[in-house]
Amino acid sequence: KAGVTQTPRYLIKTRGQQVTLSCSPISGHRSVSWYQQTPGQGLQFLFEYFSETQRNKGNFPGRFSGRQFSNSRSEMNVSTLELGDSALYLCASSLAGQGGQETQYFGPGTRLLVL
Amino acid sequence: SQKIEQNSEALNIQEGKTATLTCNYTNYSPAYLQWYRQDPGRGPVFLLLIRENEKEKRKERLKVTFDTTLKQSLFHITASQPADSATYLCALDDSGNDMRFGAGTRLTVKP
């Protein structure tokens, strides 16, 4: 089976712009979670989608949003980019979205640089 | 507030020794705790899962303990090798649907 894929792998944007990142989970997986990883904060939970519904959301401003499609592919959007949004954005998929009971399979991440 | 703290940002040990990494949590009541390995430029990779009613779990050279009274998990790598050098992340479930991660410990095993 193909692993989790994320596109694009690298992105450079300027402040005030918006960005859309894409994640394709492992075939058959219905849950997709998004994380932001920075050297200072580690891996921070953004949100989790299951069957096209957002089930959980972390402590991020409303500029961060996401959605999931019927084929389980997911996108996240960041509007009005700030310098502090520069980070590695990781998505992870799991089969049934049962939290700690299941392995999370991570993609390689999208590295976003905001100038 | 809720916290997941991994003992140190970096740990250096000599090849052949046992590496011990610590994960402490506050204001969580996880039913499961997981450990992941992350190499530079890559996403984390799952290593081990331990349930709240399990004291210890082993897989090859890896051992994890889970003490719900101390609110702590220990992760051991025995007979460490330079190839074990990576960042190790602990994660626990929060409300059953999503995982919360610690900041990680960067392990360097020197030959």
Q: Write out chain A's pLDDT in tens, 115 residues.
A: 789 999 999 999 999 999 999 999 999 999 999 999 998 778 999 999 999 999 989 999 999 999 999 999 999 999 999 999 999 999 999 998 777 788 999 999 999 999 9
CB contact under 8 A, B34 and A103: yes
3-state secondary structure of B19: strand
Give me the sign of the Cα torsion angle B1, A53, A6, B38: positive
B97/A108 CB distance under 8 A: no
Residues A59 and A64: their CA atoms lie apart, in Å, by: 10
- What single letter denotes the amino acid at residue A3? G
Contacts of B49 in chain A (CB under 8 A): 100-101, 103
Q: Report yes or no: A48 and B93 within 8 Å, Cβ to Cβ.
A: no
List per-residue pLDDT tens for chain B, 111 residues long. Answer: 889 999 778 999 999 999 999 999 999 989 899 999 999 989 999 999 999 999 899 999 999 999 999 999 999 999 999 999 999 999 998 766 678 999 999 999 999
* pLDDT at res. B8: 75
Nearest to A48 by CA among B96, B51, B43: B96
Interchain contact B40–A (C-beta under 8 A): no
Interface A:B, Cβ pairs < 8 A = 80
Q: B9 touching A, CB under 8 A?
A: no
Q: Is residue B87 within 8 angstroms of chain A, CB to CB?
A: no
